[in-house]
Chain A
Amino acid sequence: AQSVAQPEDQVNVAEGNPLTVKCTYSVSGNPYLFWYVQYPNRGLQFLLKYITGDNLVKGSYGFEAEFNKSQTSFHLKKPSALVSDSALYFCAVRDDSSASKIIFGSGTRLSIRP
């Protein structure tokens, strides 16, 4: 069975500092990994994905994520945080079978202080 874990409920970072939001996963086949962001009273917005290829994936709004197969991790990163990055972030995973559904993590609330 596939699963995804976001071990931190909340991450607090000062504006201008680098940020990392952690995600680990478990799938039986090859993983397809996604990061989404949710602002208040809105749906989720897609940030980036890993399907295959380079382990460092670049996405929207300056975010990037590093796929680490040995550690089964897909941490979200940004070199310099902005106050406007404050939101709820979800990691998601599915495996490569055609009937597989996407499983979302429990979410990490990112708070950037000025």
Chain B
Amino acid sequence: GAVVSQHPSWVICKSGTSVKIECRSLDFQATTMFWYRQFPKQSLMLMATSNEGSKATYEQGVEKDKFLINHASLTLSTLTVTSAHPEDSSFYICSATTGQGAGYGYTFGSGTRLTVV
């Protein structure tokens, strides 16, 4: 079945530094990838939708300059949290889809827990 690999699974960084999270589709080509943020005991909040080769579409309230998304190939999307602050600490989850065929589905990564100290 479709597999999405997300790396790293956890990261601790100092305030003011940047952190990059990778999301790879291992056995399919993901035309579209999504980035979610999940606070403790809360739901997944969609941050942005990224299509291969084009700029990401950010949800209202998400800072584009803070959360840089790159989707340079059909198998890789990256989320960079720039100038991280403690309030950016959260669980980040990516999801990928081929976006094709009737009733296409989504495959989720295992998530990245970011702690900013």
Does chain A bind chain B? no
